[in-house]
Amino acid sequence: MRRSNRLTLIALAAFAVATPLRAERAVLAPVPAIDAAPTRKLETAVFAGGCYWGVEGVFSHVKGVQLVVSGFAGGPKDRRVDYETVSGGDTGFAEAVRVTYDPAQVSYGTLLRIFFSVIADPTTLNYQGPDHGTQYRSAIFPLNAEQGKAASAYLAQIGKSGLWRDPVVTKVERFTGFQNAGQDHQDFMRKNPRHPYIMRWDAPKLAAFKVMFPTLYRATPSA
């Protein structure tokens, strides 16, 4: 084992002992065997991984990420929704985030790796942590063929990795559009660091990201 990897695992073990309560078990997911070739100077990716507060909170601290917006994806293209309607669990939409990033600094595959390492448990069907329902499913919404190829390959890769006891159930879903959540849901972790939900379920994800990916962590979140 390389010294850098061994030190990362030691730090992760210490983190796990110090923070026994967290939503999902932090797992150092493998480096993607297949990545998405960039198609433009700034790329966009869409992920659903449970409550969007924590998903946005972690991705906003990734070096190379320019902007993260909380919203909804996965439902019918012609239906308009908001937090209240999606919370009913019967719209087909999931809480999701739209990530704008510089592929010269961070790749799509690296975002996938971060997502499954500290944000979402790929083995839990229609829930993450305390939140249950199809609106809290984990899903990847590729925006082009390159992302689709990389996402499908990575799900197959982590499914064979043996890092999770249960089968991987996260799906690659067709992108039908993205709708922004209300302004009160944007930058929620940054604006409400002492909120009980953030402290219990989301702050540990950010702490795990800082420990597991120190070269990718940025102290100041994207705007």
Q: How far apart are CA 65 and CA 103, in angstroms?
A: 9
Identify the pLDDT of residue 25: 85
Please check whether residue 101 is in contact with residue 62, taking contact to mean a CB–CB distance below 8 angstroms. Answer: yes
- Residue indicated by tokens 């985030």: 97
State the DSSP code for 78.
T
Domain boundaries, the chain: 3-212
Give φ, ψ of 145 to 5 degrees.
-65, -35
State the DSSP code for 217.
B
pLDDT tens by residue, the chain, 223 residues: 444 444 444 444 444 444 444 457 899 999 999 999 999 999 999 999 999 999 999 999 999 999 999 999 999 999 999 999 999 999 999 999 999 999 999 999 999 999 999 999 999 999 999 999 999 999 999 999 999 999 999 999 999 999 999 999 999 999 999 999 999 999 999 999 999 999 999 999 999 999 999 999 999 999 7
The CATH class given to the 3-212 domain equals alpha beta
Task: Give bridge partners of residue 97 from the DSSP assignment.
Answer: 47, 70
Is 109 considered catalytic here? Answer: no
Q: How remote is the C-alpha of 6 from its chain's centroid?
A: 25
Q: Which two tokens stand for residue 200?
A: 């219990």
- Residue 221's nearest CA partner among 64, 116, 45 is 64
Give φ, ψ of 131 to 5 degrees.
-100, 120
- Residue 145's nearest CA partner among 111, 105, 116, 108 is 108
Q: Which residues of 102-112 are buried (b: 16+ CB within 10 A; e: fewer)?
A: ebeebbbbbbb
Instruction: Write down the catalytic residue from 23, 27, 51, 151.
Output: 51
Contacts of 169 (CB under 8 A, 6+ apart): 122, 123, 124, 125, 138
In angstroms, what CA-CA distances link 140 with 22, 97, 100, 115, 198?
Answer: 23, 10, 15, 10, 23
- Residue indicated by tokens 């102290």: 219
In angstroms, what CA-CA distances link 84 with 53, 76, 87?
Answer: 16, 17, 5
State the DSSP code for 26.
-
Query: CA 158, 162, 163: angle at the middle one, nearest 5?
Result: 75
